[in-house]
Structures are given as structure tokens and as C-alpha cells.
Amino acid sequence: MPRQRLIHEGGGNVFADIGVANPEEALLKAELVRSITNTIDERGLTQTAAAATLGVSQPKVSLLYRGRLDAFSVERLLRFLNALGRDVRIVVGAEQRRHRAGRTVVEAA
């Protein structure tokens, strides 16, 4: 007889679902890092070339690719995107929500 699998529906933020402290910040950082690494990949840059562009060492770029979110602040990640020639727009808006708290969303243009 096949074993049954228990499936839990996520709440929309995997970091909150697994109990990470500051899940909104973790999700924001993850989305920013995704944009950074996608840009590096699209340009065909090596980690060494990306490091030169970002003004950091190659091991720091490696941390980005390994998802080491705790190694970088949101502000630093935003600076990295700017160094790669990406514009960053921050929009603060009021919407009626079912949830009590607001949320942070990163959208690629």
C-alpha cells in the first residue's frame, strides 16, 4: 500500500511558513538577490567580473548565489542593483486588505 503524503498549504511567504525571524525582510532580500543574480547571468558575467562591478570580493558574490541572505542588508542589495544599471522603484500605497499588516512585494519590470 502506498504511503500517504501530508501536504500543507503555504501562506504565501515561505520564510513565514518555516518560522524564519523577520520573514518579510527575508522574502524581500530573496527577491532582490534573485534580481541581482538574474542580471549577472543575463550579462554573462563571471563572479569575478560581477564582484568588480558591485565593488565587493568574489566570495561575496558567491554568497549571493548561495542565498546567504544574512550577509547583506536590504540597502546594500539595492545598491548592487543600481551598480548593475537597474532602476529600483519603491512604491508605498494604501490598499484595503484582508490582512492586518501591509506586505512587501518586489516585481521585475
Q: Is residue 79 part of a domain?
A: yes
Residue 5 pLDDT: 83
pLDDT (average), residues 91-102? 69
Q: Is residue 49 part of a domain?
A: yes
87 to each of 65, 84, 90, how far by Cα in Å? 21, 9, 10
Q: Report the number of secondary-structure helices (H) and strands (E) in the chain.
A: 5, 0
Tens of pLDDT along 13-56? Answer: 888 888 888 888 999 999 999 999 999 999 999 999 999 999 99
Residue 60 pLDDT: 97
Q: Is residue 51 part of a domain?
A: yes
The enclosing domain of 22 has a CATH number of 1.10.260.40
Q: Is residue 10 part of a domain?
A: no
- Range of 76's domain? 17-109
Total tally of structural domains belonging to the chain: 1
pTM given for the model: 0.79
